[in-house]
């Protein structure tokens, strides 16, 4: 019976794929981003905004990321730390607790925010999640050590951070460089929103929304992290020092998947940076190689919703793909980046994911990437959007940040 069900499911995927409009990107065929589910072609921004975009958001919420709640009505912000002489006087450090249900004993997260002291007027910002607690992004002794569960790593003992964890992630978060370029930087520990293990969604923000569990489109971990990024932006909109119209959302690896979904669904983020996000991020599933749906659903069953499990083993038969998620960012600028040795993320498939979203950007009159083949390493290609693949492994490096900050300069500072 199980084999018959699998066979029928496979036939359904084949039928859906062959009956759906398709587009070619490089040598790959993917579902067409500009064809409505009723078969009509999208030719105007109005059609995209009013018909296709809502249709795609609904599709991905149902079939992959799950349904997320809105802003909690009872949420409050508590600024518990302000140091105007942080980082040897270069920055003002703020730490803010976000009480999601307004209760101290309820789910909450801490935002670590640095503001450059040399900037006059409203400050543009970049916000992203971190892997090992706010104290890991800088050796600054004033940062409160996160007490939530976290994976054992440098300075983390028995799944809890110690003093030795301070600055363990600083190489991926060049705070002083970002500050020197005139940007504020805000970060939140991912595990304060939802711990990165399959716990039945009992220890994250999902506990506030039991009605969004035990269903096919359940509120899963990647969506929860994206939701948390939006809650950080909720705070930034209240901070008088921040230019809330110029906030970039950034993420690396699995947190790059969350940053992409946050940028796709929350149009308040004015620029999106997805660094080596791989499968479930910028990578096309139809471009095989590297991590696939089977590995996502077996190793990380909590990342995506229950409906996504039915696509296991059928990457090239999906009636959707990640270029459609990237397209949801339009007309806001998008930066996708890869690393040559990061074969798990499949760099070329990430490149083509960005390229396959270009028809939507063209509707808005945005210039295409000046590349029609996979570019050379360490040679960024930039137009309105940008892509680079660098030498090296799965990581965030100074080279990556130099490209991102220059890209932010172009869109935030040079286009007043």
* CA torsion angle 401 406 410 414 (round to 10): 120
Are 188 and 225 in contact, with CB atoms under 8 Å apart? no
How do beta strands 386-390 and 381-382 pair?
antiparallel
Tens-of-pLDDT digits for all 416 residues of the chain?
Answer: 445 555 455 555 544 444 469 999 988 999 999 999 999 999 999 999 999 999 999 999 999 999 999 999 999 999 999 999 999 999 999 999 999 999 999 999 999 999 999 999 999 999 999 999 999 999 999 999 999 999 988 899 999 999 999 999 999 999 999 999 999 999 999 999 999 999 999 999 999 999 999 999 999 999 999 999 999 999 999 999 999 999 999 999 999 999 999 999 999 999 999 999 999 999 999 999 999 999 999 999 999 999 999 999 999 999 999 999 999 999 999 999 999 999 999 999 999 999 999 999 999 999 999 999 999 999 999 999 999 999 999 999 999 999 999 999 999 987 65
Same domain assignment for residues 57 and 78? no
Give the pLDDT score at 197.
93
Same domain assignment for residues 76 and 54? no
Same domain assignment for residues 80 and 47? no
Compute CA distances 115 → 183, 250, 407, 415, whole Å: 7, 17, 20, 22
Give the pLDDT score at 17.
45
Looking at the domain assignment, is residue 404 inside a domain?
A: no
Q: Point out the catalytic residue in the list 68, 168, 253, 345.
A: 253
Give the pLDDT score at 152.
86
Same domain assignment for residues 298 and 360? yes
Number of domains in the chain: 2
Same domain assignment for residues 169 and 244? yes
How do beta strands 108-116 and 91-99 pair?
antiparallel
Strand partners, 115: 92
Looking at the domain assignment, is residue 412 inside a domain?
A: no
Range of the domain at 349: 1-65+277-394
Looking at the domain assignment, is residue 411 inside a domain?
A: no
At 170, list the tokens: 């600083």
User: pLDDT of 367-394, one tens digit each?
Assistant: 999 999 999 999 999 999 999 999 999 9
At 180, list the tokens: 């020197």
Same domain assignment for residues 254 and 128? yes
What's the CA gap between 260 and 258, in Å, rounded? Answer: 5
Looking at the domain assignment, is residue 415 inside a domain?
A: no
Q: Which residues of 102-119 are buried (b: 16+ CB within 10 A; e: fewer)?
A: eeeeebbbbbbbbbbeeb
Looking at the domain assignment, is residue 224 inside a domain?
A: yes
Task: For 177-228, give the DSSP string.
Answer: HHHHTT-EEEEEEHHHHS-SS-S-S-SSGGGG-GGGSSSTT---HHHHHHHH
Same domain assignment for residues 90 and 56? no
Give the pLDDT score at 112.
98
At 255, list the tokens: 């947190």
- Assess whether 314 carries a catalytic annotation: no
Are 389 and 339 in contact, with CB atoms under 8 Å apart? yes
- Assess whether 302 carries a catalytic annotation: no
Omega prior to 219 cis, within 30 of 0: no
Looking at the domain assignment, is residue 315 inside a domain?
A: yes
Alpha carbons within 13 A on the beta-carbon side of 75: 21
Same domain assignment for residues 78 and 18? no
Give the pLDDT score at 13.
53
What's the CA gap between 246 and 221, in Å, rounded? Answer: 26
Looking at the domain assignment, is residue 298 inside a domain?
A: yes
What's the CA gap between 374 and 340, in Å, rounded? Answer: 11
Give the pLDDT score at 98.
98
At 156, list the tokens: 């983390």
Give the pLDDT score at 18.
43
Q: CATH no. for residue 211?
A: 3.40.50
Instruction: Name the domain boundary from 199, 234, 262.
Output: 262
At CA 63, angle to CA 314 and CA 326, rounded to 5?
A: 90
Same domain assignment for residues 239 and 319? no
Same domain assignment for residues 233 and 321? no
Same domain assignment for residues 292 and 372? yes
Same domain assignment for residues 250 and 339? no
What's the CA gap between 283 and 343, in Å, rounded? Answer: 11
């Amino acid at each position: 019976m199980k084999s018959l069900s699998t066979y029928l499911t496979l036939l359904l995927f084949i039928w859906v794929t062959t009956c759906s409009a398709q587009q070619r990107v490089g040598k790959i065929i993917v579902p067409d981003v500009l064809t409505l589910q009723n078969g009509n072609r999208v030719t105007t921004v109005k059609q995209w905004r009013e018909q296709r975009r809502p249709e795609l958001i609904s599709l991905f919420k149902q079939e992959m990321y799950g349904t997320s709640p809105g802003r909690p009505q009872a949420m409050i912000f508590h600024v518990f730390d302000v140091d105007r002489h942080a980082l040897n006087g270069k920055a003002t450090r703020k730490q803010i607790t976000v009480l999601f249900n307004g209760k101290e004993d309820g789910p909450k997260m801490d935002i670590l925010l640095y503001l450059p002291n040399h900037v006059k007027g409203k400050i543009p910002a970049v916000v992203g999640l971190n892997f090992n607690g706010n104290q890991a992004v800088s050796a600054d002794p004033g940062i409160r050590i996160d007490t939530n569960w976290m994976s054992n790593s440098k300075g983390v003992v028995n799944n809890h951070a110690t003093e030795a964890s301070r600055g363990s992630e600083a190489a991926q978060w060049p705070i002083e460089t970002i500050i020197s370029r005139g940007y504020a930087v805000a970060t939140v520990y991912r595990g304060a929103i939802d711990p990165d293990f399959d716990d039945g969604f009992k220890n994250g923000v999902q506990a506030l929304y039991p009605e969004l569990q035990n269903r096919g489109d359940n509120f899963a971990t990647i969506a929860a992290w994206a939701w948390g990024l939006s809650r950080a932006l909720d705070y930034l909109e209240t901070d008088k020092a921040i230019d809330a119209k110029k906030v970039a959302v950034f993420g690396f690896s699995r947190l790059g998947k969350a940053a992409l979904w946050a940028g796709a669904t929350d149009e308040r983020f004015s620029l999106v940076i997805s660094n080596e996000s791989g499968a479930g991020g910028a990578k096309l599933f139809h471009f095989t190689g590297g991590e696939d749906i089977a590995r996502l659903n077996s190793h990380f069953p909590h990342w995506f919703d229950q409906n996504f499990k039915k696509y296991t083993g059928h990457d090239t038969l999906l009636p959707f793909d990640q270029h459609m998620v990237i397209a949801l960012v339009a007309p806001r600028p998008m930066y996708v980046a890869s690393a040559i040795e990061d074969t798990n993320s499949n760099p070329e498939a990430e490149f083509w994911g960005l390229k396959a979203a270009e028809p939507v950007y063209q509707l808005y009159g945005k210039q295409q990437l000046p590349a029609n083949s996979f570019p050379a390493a360490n040679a960024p290609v930039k137009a309105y959007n940008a892509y680079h693949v660098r030498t090296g492994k799965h990581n965030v490096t100074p080279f990556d940040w130099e490209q991102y900050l220059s890209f932010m300069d172009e869109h935030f500072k040079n286009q007043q």
